[in-house]
Structure 1
């Protein structure tokens, strides 16, 4: 098992756009294994590489009845339906909020071997794809919150025992 420490709010890697994967090698296979093991250890629905300190465009998921990973993912929204549902984040313990997301998305990318991956998903899996892709773009779900929810979340973060003084919570 290769569980890695989860990077927490305030770590600059979480606010930086991750790099495209260009080498499909043993290191990438190990990264995917680390992501899956870490996600399962923390009982997450998904995890992106920056959350374990690796600035590459990879995420793993175990959500609904779907399990896997996507390298260099992109997605497109399918239809106009939106959903509002509660989200949390392994990198921001203790904070949960309702977030508005597209109900259905079509995901494209490749797997750890460079083979094409493409699927359409809805509901919780669509939420997971959008959340994890946000991580790859350096966007935390805090910025997707309604203003009042974000203000409350920031109050919670100010008092979080795990948050270092250098995190810059405002």
Structure 2
């Protein structure tokens, strides 16, 4: 359908808990098409519906050329002790910070036919699953930073040309 514009830090939709999808209709099908189109651009690992201004529980992913989506995702398992990994976000462009993430994640949700989808992995996939589920809960990765890093992130945001 369309590559949608990414909402930036400060947009209230990014801090809003997303509503569950209760019915698969044309609006949800168009949303999934837009999420997939939007995540296919280079350098994108995931896009949550809230990042394109839609307050519904869905995200798309693009990990090593594996592109897909999931509706109503829930983290069902996290493995290993959180590790600091470099992380950025399309909604906070140009910033990268060491963010605590579990090295393994499993997410369960549904597809457009109501079938169960289970995504699991390590590395970038585990990080992306946690990052995108956070978006749907109204959290940005900077919310997970320690206080000194968060202060630095907020300073960089205020000084950015996009804020």
Structure 2 gaps of 5+ residues are none
CA RMSD of aligned residues (A): 1.5
Could you give the per-residue CA deviations for residues 18-76 of structure 1, whole angstroms, max 9, x where no partner exists?
Answer: 00001212221211111121122363100000000000000000113532111000013
Q: Does 1:47 align with 2:47?
A: yes
Could you give the per-residue CA deviations for residues 103-126 of structure 1, whole angstroms, max 9, x where no partner exists?
Answer: 111210001221110132112101
Partner SS for 1:4: coil
TM-score, structure 2 as length reference: 0.93
Partner SS for 1:88: strand
- The 2-side partners of 1:78 and 1:16 are apart by 23
Are the aligned partners of 2:9 and 2:91 in contact in 1 as well (CA < 8 Å)? yes
- The 1-side partners of 2:5 and 2:52 are apart by 6
Give the structure 2 partner of residue 30 of structure 1.
30
Give the structure 2 partner of residue 138 of structure 1.
138
Count residues in correspondence: 163
> How much has 1:149 moved relative to structure 2?
1.4
- The 1-side partners of 2:79 and 2:9 are apart by 33
> How much has 1:83 moved relative to structure 2?
2.7
Q: As a proportion of its length, which structure holds more strand?
A: 2
Aligned residue runs from structure 1 range 41-120, under 5 A: 41=41, 43-64=43-64, 66-120=66-120
TM-score, structure 1 as length reference: 0.90
Give the structure 2 partner of residue 12 of structure 1.
12
Give the structure 1 partner of residue 21 of structure 2.
21
Are the aligned partners of 2:77 and 2:106 in contact in 1 as well (CA < 8 Å)? yes
- The 2-side partners of 1:35 and 1:42 are apart by 14
